[in-house]
Amino acid sequence: MNVNSIHTAILDPVGVKAGMDQYDMRLATALQLQGVNVSILSNFNGNGVVKFFSSSVVAGLFSYLQLIFAYRKAIEFCDANTVKQAILHVFGFTRTDRWVISQFQRRGIRVVLIVHDVESFVYKNTMDRTRAILLQCKDSIIVHHKSAAAEILRLVGNDVPVNVLPHGHFISEQPVVYEKRMAREKLGIPISGFCPLFFGMIKPTKGLSVLLDAMELVGSNYHVLVAGRPRGDVRSQLEGLVKLQKKGRATFSIGYITEDEMELWFLAADCIVLPYERIYQSGVALQAMSRKVPVLMSDLPAHAEWHHAGADATLFQAGDSVDLALKLQWMQHNLVEIAQRADRAYQHLVKYHDWKILASGIVNLSAVG
């Protein structure tokens, strides 16, 4: 199969709502450099992007019907533009995923699944549906961690070959340059003190409560930063955050964070904390490492796998606020060491997380298919 002649569509209804626009654009560029004709069907503006989906964050039946209508229009676009391959992001194997895959396959359009989460951390999914979707696309499944591959193989056995390919980095050719002091002034953050940052979607499984409990165990010279959009029932976490703010020990922005704002939050932070209690991968960790921001993460399989491969970080015992507090104190007193770890993580990304590695893997899968 001549992969250069295959018109490929990256279909992504999430897009700008969760930072997937950066993923899509960088993957598309890497595929184009290999001669692949790529269209992005999503909810943001950019070269080669066709907007079908909404960028607003609204739940409910009407929103779901809008999503299905947008999917239908996107599929019609693929029909009209002789798309032969569709790359889909999967965050939990929903009924909608299964319907979309079936619609493409009925039209003879090859589907490549990039599985970000084997199970949804927001919606309920059944193992029967997960197995059915995996078997439906068994020749074209991609994950970014061996631990996610092991989870899939545990569900379906050796009937499904899983391709482990690295998530690309977010290193910028023209990095935004601010002074830390300026970033903190813009965001209203105390200039002095050690500031750990929790960034990204605030979900029940993301462990924000573990970080807030740890903040009660460290000194008053620690000031927690939180920036992101809530998803699911996280009321108790947000209430705890407000209590810390009233003590003068927290600064937060709850809602959608723009790319420019993200640069400020990352620069203002002394480290990024990922206290997740369940995760398959983390784009936030990649964003931090791409900016040489030290990372403190729970010792879940995906995190530990990444760390031991050379993307150097500091680990703490998942769910243990005491251990997290101890590691925060260690980081504050070892600034040279954590800066060296951040530099090693950055160099690891340069070598092993180039987008062309993921693009080459997709091209090779297309050639086989």
- 3-168+354-368: which CATH topology? Rossmann fold (3.40.50)
What pairs with residue 110 in β-bridges? Answer: 85
Q: Which two tokens stand for residue 307?
A: 């760390």
What pairs with residue 227 in β-bridges? Answer: 199, 253
pLDDT in tens, 251-280: 999 998 888 899 999 999 999 999 998 877
Q: Which of 231, 235, 242 has its CA nearest to residue 202?
A: 231
- Predicted pLDDT at 302: 80
Between CA 10 and CA 26 the distance in angstroms is 11
- Predicted pLDDT at 210: 96
Asked, colleague to colleague, whether 3-168+354-368 and 180-352 share their fold, the answer is yes
The highest-level CATH class for domain 180-352 is alpha beta
Q: Mean pLDDT in runs of 10 for the chain (369 residues)?
A: 72 90 95 94 92 80 88 95 94 90 94 86 72 88 90 83 92 71 91 93 91 94 94 89 93 89 93 89 88 93 76 89 97 94 93 94 80
Query: What's 296-316 look like in SS3?
Result: EEECCHHHHHHHHHCCCCEEE
- Predicted pLDDT at 1: 44
CB 362 within 8 A of CB 142: yes
β strands within the chain, DSSP E = 7-11, 37-42, 49-51, 83-90, 110-115, 141-143, 162-164, 196-199, 224-228, 250-254, 271-274, 295-298, 314-316
**So where are the chain's domains?**
3-168+354-368, 180-352
Q: Which of 111, 100, 114, 199 has its CA nearest to residue 148?
A: 114
Between CA 293 and CA 185 the distance in angstroms is 19
